[in-house]
Amino acid sequence: MLFLHLVLLAALSGGGSADVKPEAWLSSSPILGSDQLVLACHVSGYYPKPIWVMWMRGEQEQSDTQQGDILPSVDGTWYVRAILHVAAEEAAGLSCRVRHSSLGDQDIVLYWGESDWIYKGAKAPPEPGR
């Protein structure tokens, strides 16, 4: 088992290695004593490290998005979380957009409030001009 783990790490860290597509999901938690929510967009299992994650309203980037540190996973891939503080009544219409080299020109877009918040292969269409 250790041998397989080391082989995977060597493959992922070597030059010219294949990109690994991310998995993304959403979560939320209330801020006690207020009508605010903390929305979180989690992205994991991707390689290489550079990634762009942003909360959106339509095509408008939400400038209050806070992206955490990109953290390594034991399998040689990466994890990052982007959070947004928002009034509960303003959460509708928000989405999380993920851009990564493994996705080509088709970003992952997860819409807040939909029942299935885990990316399972469907991607957003390419943006005009990309």
Nearest to 1 by CA among 72, 74, 73: 74
Task: Quote the number of domains for the chain.
Answer: 1
Per-residue pLDDT, 113: 87
- Domain assignment present for residue 12? The answer is no
Provide the CATH number for the domain around residue 80.
Answer: 2.60.40.10
Residue 15: pLDDT over 90: no
Residue 7: pLDDT over 70: no
Mean pLDDT for the stretch of residues 69-78: 97
- Domain assignment present for residue 119? The answer is no
pLDDT in tens, 85-115: 999 999 999 999 999 999 999 999 999 986 5
pLDDT in tens, 31-72: 999 999 999 999 999 999 999 999 999 999 999 999 999 999
Phi-psi region of 92 (alpha: psi -120 to 50; beta: other; left: phi over 0): beta
- Domain assignment present for residue 85? The answer is yes
Nearest to 9 by CA among 76, 77, 71: 76
Long-range contacts of 120-124, Cβ-Cβ distance < 8 Å, separation of 24 or more: 124/97
Q: Which residue segment(s) compose the domain that 73 sits in?
A: 23-112
- Domain assignment present for residue 88? The answer is yes
What are the backbone dihedrals phi and psi of residue 2, each rounded to the nearest 5 degrees, phi first? Answer: -60, -40
Q: SS3 letters for 59-117?
A: CEECCCCEECCCEECCCCCEEEEEEEEEEHHHCCCEEEEEECHHHCCCCEEEECCCCCC
- Domain assignment present for residue 16? The answer is no
